Amino acid sequence: MALMTGKEYIESIRKLDQKVYMFGERVEDPTRNPILRPSLNSVRMTYDLAFQEEYRDLMTVISPETGQRINRFTHIHRSSEDLVNKVKMQRLLGQKTASCFQRCVGMDAFNAVYSTTYETDQVHGTGYFKNFQNFMLYVQENDLTVDGAMTDPKGDRSLPPHAQEDPDLFLRVVVRRPDGIVVRGAKVHQTGAVNSHEILVMPTIALGPEDQDYAVSFAVPSDEKGIFMVVGRQSCDTRKTENAPMDVGNQKFGGMEALIVFDNVFIPNERIFLNGETDFSGMMVERFAGYHRQSYGGCKVGVGDVLIGAAALAADYNSIPKASHIKDKLIEMTHLNETLYCCGIACSSEGVPTKSGNYMIDLLLANVCKQNVTRFPYEITRLAEDIAGGLMVTAPSQADIRNPELKPYIEKYLKGNKNVPTENRLKILRLLENLTLGTAAVGYRTESLHGAGSPQAQRIMIARQGNLLEKKELAKQIAGISEE
């Protein structure tokens, strides 16, 4: 099949027998749930755009393994051009959805596990690379969405996994059998988990010899026995149940996060990609983190494009587009947004091949990219809220505007530009609220800080990759210092 249409994707998710809980009750059909459906629509866009001629070369690629055209989200990067196109694709999807489109984590896990299994096999004589290749082909041929699952609950952050009071606070192997393993634990902050066919699990930190049971990577269907998900709450999420699309802001798209619990789940040998080789857990974590930090130079920039456009419209609707301070704020927002994009493109352009043949981004620049993402979207958001004004968070509801008695007064007293309907002004303010404070904040503001690791995680990598010794030598040469 190789490529699914958006409609086929929706039906494929509907057929899954996932155990999904929200507000204390099981969700019988997540594809029809009004709170979850916008997130499904966002993933669908990754399928729909693949069939549009103008985006085909960005959204799809010819698989080197099969010669078939596949979705780029299932592709193994083979060049710096692949890495650059990945970032461009992510910006496009951010522009089209103004939300998290959820397939990036699986794509980044794909590429990290691909190269790590290859190098693990070289040292340990294992068969993980072949296992992963088979899984990769299965995903490509069926155009599946994969949830990349790395983050564990962690419990007491000062203790390694084996020293935790509750050993399940890091996902672990509890039974090893001739035909596979049984795992128990959980993964948190799982972007798009409910909208995924498969879950690709990785360790969450580099591990020592005492943590062999935690050095595990595998793939498992999202509806496998023993797996259930608890959907995380987002600000303003129940507005989606009120049949008032104007109050939601982003009327069609959204994101979702979940806690995934693995309650004694069996994983067959052919689905295992790491099983006790602690010396390669750090490599898998570092490579995944690098790819995912690169991703933020695309997806957050695309959402930022929409946010900047909404702020500019708010200025128009408030009749202040020519005010010098408004112009300057929009320029600053654009400058910050494009700087993020520069970082995403730069770390991609400097990509190098791994031993397995797939391409790895420049790790230093990828971490610089994500470090900037932990800061710039907050300033872009602040400036957008400044331009919008306080009505962004105090405007009346759609029901008030539809009330024939209230409507004339709302239209009169909340009007801005005389040439713009009051309702249009309120719609754009609701979109700004959605992007900065509401459900999309998970996919933009807050996720910009914590997604792909906290700011300190990037600073550790920047220190490691920054090569201060070489820089000191450069200074010595210029200054004419010799220590011989």
Confidence of residue 422 (pLDDT cuts 50, 70, 90): very high
Across the range 232-245, mean pLDDT stands at 95
- The pLDDT of residue 184 is 98
Confidence of residue 127 (pLDDT cuts 50, 70, 90): very high
Any binding-site annotation on 191?
A: yes
Q: Do β-strands 69-71 and 60-62 pair in parallel, antiparallel, or remain unpaired? A: antiparallel
Q: What is the mean pLDDT of the chain?
A: 97
- Tally DSSP H helices, then E strands, for the chain: 17, 14
Share above pLDDT 70 across residues of the chain, in percent, rounded to a whole number: 100
Across the range 239-261, mean pLDDT stands at 96
DSSP structural state of residue 76: P
Within 13 Å, how many C-alpha atoms sit on residue 213's CB side?
18
- The pLDDT of residue 1 is 66
Q: In this predicted model, what pLDDT tens digit does every residue of 18-67 receive, in sequence order?
A: 999 999 999 999 999 999 999 999 999 999 999 999 999 999 999 999 99
Q: Does domain 6-277 have CATH number 2.40.110.10?
A: yes
Whether the predicted pLDDT of 267 surpasses 90? yes
Confidence of residue 443 (pLDDT cuts 50, 70, 90): confident
Is the overall model pTM greater than 0.85, yes or no?
Answer: yes
**What are the backbone angles phi and psi of residue 275, rounded to the nearest 5°?**
-155, 75
**Domain positions in the chain:** 6-277, 283-471
- The pLDDT of residue 352 is 98
Neighbour order of strands in the sheet with 227-231: 25-26, 20-22, 227-231, 258-268, 180-187, 172-177
Domain with residues 283-471, CATH architecture: Up-down Bundle (1.20)
Q: Tokens 């009327």 appear where? A: 251
Whether the predicted pLDDT of 237 surpasses 70? yes
- The pLDDT of residue 60 is 98
Across the range 305-330, mean pLDDT stands at 98
Q: In this predicted model, what pLDDT tens digit does every residue of 345-396 receive, in sequence order?
A: 999 999 999 999 999 999 999 999 999 999 999 999 999 999 999 999 999 9
167-183 in b/e burial notation, b at 16+ Cβ within 10 A? bbbbbbbbeeeeebbbb
- The pLDDT of residue 483 is 84
Catalytic site positions: 100, 104, 191, 257, 292, 296, 299, 447
Dmax (CA) of the chain: 89
Beta bridge partners, 198, equal 146, 221
- The pLDDT of residue 454 is 87
Share above pLDDT 90 across residues of the chain, in percent, rounded to a whole number: 96
- Amino acid (1-letter code) at residue 138: Y
DSSP 366-403: HHHHHHHHTTHHHHHHHHHHHHH-GGGGTPPPHHHHH-
Cβ proximity of 296 and 340 under 8 Å: yes
Q: Which long-range contacts (CB under 8 A, 24 or more apart) does 378-381 make?
A: 378/445, 378/448, 378/449, 379/332, 379/333, 379/336, 380/304, 380/307, 380/308, 380/333, 380/336, 380/337, 381/307, 381/435, 381/436, 381/444, 381/445
Whether the predicted pLDDT of 177 surpasses 80? yes
Q: Which two tokens stand for residue 20?
A: 């999904």
How many CB atoms are located within 10 Å of the residue 277 CB?
22
Nearest-10 crossing angle of helices 422-436, 376-388: 160
Beta bridge partners, 409, equal none
Whether the predicted pLDDT of 190 surpasses 70? yes
- The pLDDT of residue 373 is 97
CA dihedral 71, 76, 80, 86 (to 10 degrees): 40
- The pLDDT of residue 281 is 98
Give the integer Cα–Cα distance in Å for 471 and 84. 28
Nearest to 358 by CA among 145, 80, 104, 148: 80
Across the range 151-170, mean pLDDT stands at 98
Cβ proximity of 85 and 179 under 8 Å: no
Across the range 75-89, mean pLDDT stands at 98
- 3-state secondary structure (DSSP) of residue 4: coil
